[in-house]
Structure 1
Amino acid sequence: MRSLLRSLGFLAVLVIFSLLAACIELTEPTIADESGPSNESNSDSEATLRLGHVFAEDDPIHKSTVMIADLAKEYSDGELQIDVYSNSQLGGERELVEGVQMGIVDIGLAANAPVTNFIPSLVYWDFPYLVDSIEHMERIENDESIMGALQTDFENNNLVNLGIQYGGFRQITNSVRPIETLDDFSGINIRLLESEVMIESFENIPGTRTSNMAFSELYSGLQQGVVNAQENPLNSIYSMKFFEVQDYLSLTNHFFTTRYYLMNADRFDLLSEKQQEALVRATEEVMELHKEELFAEEAQLLEILEEEGMEINEVSDEFVDEFRTQMKETVYPRFYDVVGNGDEEVGQKLIEEIEALR
């Protein structure tokens, strides 16, 4: 990360997370029937929802998700109970999205890459070096035209996006060598998310192989040498203890991770207006806090990862320029028609609008 934020913010927010998490007692969930939801749609009803994600319970993402459940219960005066399932208990991210669409899972937290298996037009969020700073991402999120197109894509697939979670910039770890030039990818077998654009991006780098495996299996895959590299935001590299099975961390910032709290639109409509407002309000508020915590912690995480024995390097501007130029020439154009839902000019225009906000 070119400009790492103060570590004091990380410590302060972690105290907040710890205090709030200590007040939360998760109850045994009511298992949803595959035939559909049973919640009544009136102001006197109580609703219990299942929310699934793939992260460990000591990950800030889990803690912020539990905060959403806590606040939604508070804002709904106890009418809305959300039971949180961590560690892929309800499935990997692709299974979570599919479960939400089918109404089997009430809410699923999923990164953009697995979502593109169901909504291909969202592949642009996975374009390498499209988002180049947090400030840039915030301008994108505040753009009514871009966000309007995003929401339309979700609505057309019977999904409600409760909120966008900033996942952070993705960095590369490996057990071969530091990544300082594109030539250093020679001999690298890197695990990537299940995203066609991500896979094609790295396969366009000579000497690089790509693999896909479930996030829950990645540690053992690295440990056993099935793959020798992976890429994730710093918080995931730390919480999943990848530093135990990887020697090198290269700060590349090559992809920016966006995640979504997705809910089946029909199930959302079954909630009372009070419950809906409580859920949306809780998600939006916690996402702001999560964003502050995520980037405030990075300096601290780098110190910890270095203490754990990782060799850390930051790539040069020349590396970024070469990577971005190569991808804009070979990868971006191939997906313009997908981004534009079949219209290449529409897709290219959307990418240009995003780039113009830098």
Structure 2
Amino acid sequence: MLGLLYLAKKKMNYMQNCKAIKRKIIGVLFGVFILGLSACSNIKEHKTLFFAHSLPVTHPVHKGILEMQKLLNEKSGGKLQIKIFPDGQLGSEREMLELLQIGSVAMTKVSAASMSNFAPEYRVFGVPYLFRDSEHLFSVLEGELGKKILEGGSEFLLRGLCFYDAGSRSFYTLDGFVKTPEDLKGKKIRVMNDQMSVQMVNTLGGSATPMAYGELYTALQQRVVDGAENNVPSFVTSNHYEICKYYTIDEHSMIPDVVVVGTKFWDTLSETEKGWLQAAADESVAKEKAYWKETVKENMEVLKKANVQIHYPDKSLFSEKSKPIMEELMKDPKMNTLIQKINTY
């Protein structure tokens, strides 16, 4: 019996080692692939930026990235080009950020929540009800404070170029609305793998369940979780509305998306090339915001036709219950200063 257990354990270790080796081989081959393409780019006298993200091509943020691609091509006269890898082809948000850090990929788009795992200033965007509305949010994002946060990521080899509108996040569930925080009791709610998101749901009374976004549809089908929280376009493009028929628009957080370039790639660019890239990113923001607004309007009609029930709760019940999160964060002097600055906008 002991012999069989030993052999089983040995086989399991062997399989795990094989998987690890396979991942390393894939990483090496991908690096060689990129170097090969880069070499071809040099021969053609242009540079290609590999831009990976996890969203579907129908998403308004992807459309914003397409605008950036077009603008960069125009500004550089084709000397600097973007090749996009959507739909999580190169991995999760965390994996893509790690690829940027080692220089295997040039750019990505991630949630500010994912960035907070690398650059601590981004944690502030996860504070529930910190921003009064979208106008307040973008006055911060597009002001000096927003620029400082974007540039601060360079210390961790991840330089932010601009913020994209990602709307506000609200709860959607399988059974009944979340009209008050009490309605979250006993409910397992999927959240991003982010400390602030976990803390937010737990503080409101639910059971936060971190899970990869790509696994969520099946998890909802099998009732592994009772619901999730996200913005309207993500709720629709993920097809989660086919399963969850209750959408409570409590708008507990406004976490923007961030366009990020790895400093390892950024440092290879000339000042002129950096100017082209930054300008293309900045100018794409207005287009992305317009796409977002238009998509939300269209998606609300999709939800209506799909018989998804919408509820607008008393937000004060949620904001009051979540206050301890901000109070705890403000014990950190750096976060305290940041929050106070945001409140003055």
Trace 1:100-179 onto structure 2 (pairs within 5 A).
Answer: 100-144=100-144, 146-179=145-178
Give the paired residue count.
Answer: 315
For 1:22, the equivalent position in structure 2 comes to none
Q: Distance in 2 between matches of 1:138 and 1:67?
A: 20
What is the letter of the counterpart of residue 310 of structure 2?
Answer: I
User: Helix, strand or coil for the counterpart of 1:227?
Assistant: coil
1:169 to 1:102, Cα distance in 2 relative to 1, 3 A: same
The structure that has the greater radius of gyration is 2
Q: How far is 1:300 from its partner?
A: 2.8
Q: How far is 1:116 from its partner?
A: 1.3
Corresponding residue to 1:310 among 292, 308, 311: 308
Runs of 4+ off more than 3 Å: 30-42
Q: How far is 1:32 from its partner?
A: 4.5
User: Helix, strand or coil for the counterpart of 1:346?
Assistant: helix
User: Helix, strand or coil for the counterpart of 1:52?
Assistant: strand
Q: Distance in 2 between matches of 1:251 and 1:133?
A: 13
Q: Distance in 2 between matches of 1:297 and 1:184?
A: 29
For 1:52, the equivalent position in structure 2 comes to 52
Trace 1:173-188 onto structure 2 (pairs within 5 A).
Answer: 173-188=172-187
Q: How far is 1:156 from its partner?
A: 1.6
For 2:329, the equivalent position in structure 1 comes to 335
Q: How far is 1:52 from its partner?
A: 0.6
- Consecutive unaligned residues of structure 2, counting only runs of 5 or more, are 1-28
For 2:319, the equivalent position in structure 1 comes to 324
Q: Say whether the 8 Å CA contact 2:167–2:256 is kept in structure 1.
A: yes
Q: Distance in 2 between matches of 1:175 and 1:34?
A: 44
What is the letter of the counterpart of residue 334 of structure 1?
Answer: E
Q: Say whether the 8 Å CA contact 1:109–1:261 is kept in structure 2.
A: yes
What is the letter of the counterpart of residue 227 of structure 2?
Answer: A
For 2:193, the equivalent position in structure 1 comes to 194
For 1:87, the equivalent position in structure 2 comes to 87
1:150 to 1:41, Cα distance in 2 relative to 1, 3 A: farther
For 2:266, the equivalent position in structure 1 comes to 268
For 1:67, the equivalent position in structure 2 comes to 67
Trace 1:156-305 onto structure 2 (pairs within 5 A).
Answer: 156-206=155-205, 208-305=206-303
Q: How far is 1:191 from its partner?
A: 0.6
Q: How far is 1:89 from its partner?
A: 0.5
What is the letter of the counterpart of residue 121 of structure 2?
Answer: S
Q: Percent identity?
A: 24
Per-residue displacement from partner, 1:258-300 (whole Å, max 9, x unpaired)?
Answer: 1111111131121233332222222111111111221243233
Per-residue displacement from partner, 1:215-268 (whole Å, max 9, x unpaired)?
Answer: 122111111211121111111111111111111011111110211111111311
For 1:351, the equivalent position in structure 2 comes to 339
Q: Distance in 2 between matches of 1:127 and 1:136?
A: 14
Q: How far is 1:177 from its partner?
A: 0.6
What is the letter of the counterpart of residue 248 of structure 2?
Answer: S
Q: Distance in 1 between matches of 2:248 and 2:182?
A: 14
Task: Give the TM-score normalised by the residue count of structure 2.
Answer: 0.85
1:36 to 1:350, Cα distance in 2 relative to 1, 3 A: farther
Q: Say whether the 8 Å CA contact 1:126–1:197 is kept in structure 2.
A: yes
User: Helix, strand or coil for the counterpart of 2:280?
Assistant: helix
User: Helix, strand or coil for the counterpart of 1:355?
Assistant: helix
Bigger fraction of residues in helix: 2
Q: Distance in 2 between matches of 1:152 and 1:86?
A: 25
What is the letter of the counterpart of residue 256 of structure 2?
Answer: T
Per-residue displacement from partner, 1:152-199 (whole Å, max 9, x unpaired)?
Answer: 421222222121111111121100111111111123211101111111
User: Helix, strand or coil for the counterpart of 2:167?
Assistant: strand
1:102 to 1:196, Cα distance in 2 relative to 1, 3 A: same
- Structure with the larger RCO, 1 or 2 (CA within 8 Å, 6+ apart): 1
Q: Distance in 1 between matches of 2:170 and 2:181?
A: 14
What is the letter of the counterpart of residue 110 of structure 2?
Answer: A
- Consecutive unaligned residues of structure 1, counting only runs of 5 or more, are 1-29, 338-343
Q: Say whether the 8 Å CA contact 2:151–2:159 is kept in structure 1.
A: no
User: Helix, strand or coil for the counterpart of 2:257?
Assistant: strand
Q: How far is 1:332 from its partner?
A: 1.5
Q: Say whether the 8 Å CA contact 2:63–2:291 is kept in structure 1.
A: no
1:63 to 1:214, Cα distance in 2 relative to 1, 3 A: same
Q: Say whether the 8 Å CA contact 1:107–1:263 is kept in structure 2.
A: yes
What is the letter of the counterpart of residue 262 of structure 1?
Answer: V
For 2:3, the equivalent position in structure 1 comes to none
